[in-house]
Structure 1
Amino acid sequence: MIMDRRSVLAGLAGVGATFAVAGGVRAQTAGTLAEIKKRGTLRVGVTQAPPWYSKDPKTGEWNSGLGVSMGKAMAAVLGVKFEPVEVTWGTAIAALQGNKIDLMYMLDATPERAAAVDFPQNPLLFYSMAVLARDDLAVKTWQDLNKPDVRIAVPQASSMDKFLTETVGNAAIQRFPGNPEAIAAFQAGRVDAVCLFHPPLLAARQRLGAGKIVVPLPAQSQPSSVALRKEDDKAFLTWVDTTINGYYTSGQTQRWYEEFLRGFGLDPKSAPPVMKEMLK
């Protein structure tokens, strides 16, 4: 079939219009922030790990912990409901990528994670790595644990796991799905120590009534962060960055932390603060 120049131009214009419409649809695809407001919930990844997240065993509700308090506050600012979604430290990234959750607090911004998810520029808080060890286990430095006969429990695929693998690789490192399983192994005597960041160990020591908490030298203090799904629309990332920075600089993050400690029967003065400006 023979087509004249006018027909060809008209056809190309039609194709161009089609691509323009398609491009417009793509451009209008809602980002996470818009989806949250449309859905009416902020989905926060949670895992049993006091003082960050704590579920009431009687009601099954996630009702305490710094991450729960912050999640509820951020949901309220957005005018939506707080929706906790159970994950593990090892499955949180996949949950974000699979659009099962909108964010996860207390995930450190490692290079490996940053390749898969986004992190805000401002830190969430600061904390130190520690161990809950048998009372008779001599621990002053990390090298004291770097022995084949020392059994250490750690949550799998966590920052602690990576650090132990690189620093005390000679130890018998046993990896568990999450904090509760690692702590249970210590309680049962299957390991000599459990490595977590200092705050969760305070709650564990309080509950178990046994063992000693040590911050081995050289002390490993670092910032923690919030993981979010990677997307072209950066509105949610920008909002989270601004919001957590506001909570931190106003002292609200520290107050939520201390609130949990008091509710758990611990004196906040016995624990290192989560603000680096307050560290001595």
Structure 2
Amino acid sequence: MKRFLLAAAGALFMTGAVHAGTLDDVKARGTLNCGVTQGLPGFSYTDDKGEWAGMDVDFCRAIAAAIFDDPTKVKFSPLSAKDRFTALSSGAVDVLSRNTTWTMSRDTTLGFNFAGVTYYDGQGFLVREALGLKSVRELEGASICVQTGTSNEVNVADYFRGQGMKYREIVAFGTFDEAIKAYQSGRCDVFSADRSQLAAMRLKLTNPSSHVLLPETISKEPLGPLVRHGDDQWFDLVRWTYFALVNAEELGVTRQNVEEMLKSTDPRLKRLLGTEGNYGEDVGVTADWVVRIVRAVGNYGEIYDRNVGPGTPLDIERGINNVWRKGGLHYGMPVR
């Protein structure tokens, strides 16, 4: 019996030695594997130069900057809504940063942890302006396009049932682009998705100005990055990368002034930027990890403004995606 227990203990030790944590794997590989969408303007898409861009892309670059001091050390894997969870659970990607809604079932039954909410969204409806519709309440008998592998179909059914309304049919498509083509061809009257997705989708239509978003938001869609259960160090690093971006905005640390901010005597800044304490080392990176992040991608507000804010093609006001001091929902947990 004693020999068996010793052998089992040795086997467990060897197993632990072989299977390092995700952070160790990423460091050894020299690249972060990041799962993103197959193309959603403002969030994750390839630009005119063939480079990945968007809020979700910048989040992965922030993680890479924290680890390697190099935001380019990321391999982006475009994933459909249907395939995204398999890619994460199989280890094909280290983090899923792909406009995914934080729900109870996804958080508790799929073997994942949500590391935070990087964008607060809600489901809406896009219609042709020529229909003259002003409200979702006017969609009685409509055919509605959605994408498979999302919660959009359930949300539509719940809303219509709750309002005592009936739709003609819900038509689901495997990819976002297939759904766009179907809507544009007239296969359905309405397209329903997260409002940020609809704003991005409208840009892909032949005549964007001839399509309008109805005013109602029918659901809560808190979007954020996911990691696998069971690796607390990796979970902590991904979660605190989000908090670092928000805290940097709250404390006024930007790409332009981060070097000057290193001279600050404000204890909050000293802890955040690593001139006091060992907070970076506690999550497996260097003391200046937040400096690395801000140098690479800026703070949360800079990422938002650059990718989806006013002045971009999506032109989305900050609203609830502002920091808490300005009436929004983003709140960085304190570094102390």
- Alignment correspondent of 1:95: 87
- Tell me, in whole angstroms, the C-alpha distance in 1 between the residues paired with 2:144 and 2:323: 28
Residues 275 and 265 (structure 1), Cα distance of their counterparts in 2 relative to 1, 3 Å cut: closer
Q: Any unmatched runs of 5+ in structure 1?
A: 1-11
| 2:181 corresponds to which of 181, 184, 192 | 184
| 1:50 corresponds to which of 22, 36, 41 | 41
- Alignment correspondent of 1:69: 58
1:1-280 correspondence to structure 2 within 5 Å: 12-28=1-17, 29-47=19-37, 48-56=39-47, 61-79=50-68, 81-105=73-97, 106-114=99-107, 115-120=109-114, 122-135=116-129, 136=131, 138-141=133-136, 143-145=137-139, 147-148=140-141, 150-168=142-160, 170-171=166-167, 172-208=169-205, 209=208, 210-216=210-216, 219-230=218-229, 232-251=230-249, 252-261=299-308, 265-266=312-313, 268=315, 272=319, 274-275=321-322, 277=324
Query: How many matched pairs?
Result: 262
- Tell me, in whole angstroms, the C-alpha distance in 2 between the residues paired with 1:191 and 1:127: 23
- Tell me, in whole angstroms, the C-alpha distance in 1 between the residues paired with 2:3 and 2:314: 71
- Tell me, in whole angstroms, the C-alpha distance in 1 between the residues paired with 2:308 and 2:58: 13
Kept in 1, the 8 Å contact 2:200–2:314? The answer is no
Kept in 2, the 8 Å contact 1:117–1:227? The answer is no
- Tell me, in whole angstroms, the C-alpha distance in 2 between the residues paired with 1:279 and 1:134: 33
Whichever of the two has the greater Rg, that structure is: 1
Please, what TM-score do these two structures have when normalized by structure 2?
A: 0.69
User: What residue identity is the alignment partner of 1:246?
Assistant: A
Q: Which has the higher contact order (CA 8 A, sep 6+)?
A: 1
Please, what TM-score do these two structures have when normalized by structure 1?
A: 0.82
Could you list the structure 1 runs, at least 4 aligned residues long, displaced by more than 6 angstroms after superposition: none
Q: Any unmatched runs of 5+ in structure 2?
A: 250-298, 329-336
Kept in 2, the 8 Å contact 1:203–1:264? The answer is no
- Tell me, in whole angstroms, the C-alpha distance in 1 between the residues paired with 2:196 and 2:314: 12
Which is worse superposed, 80-89 or 253-262? 253-262
Q: CA deviation at 1:200?
A: 2.4
Q: Report the RMSD for the aligned CA atoms in angstroms.
A: 2.7
Kept in 2, the 8 Å contact 1:129–1:215? The answer is no
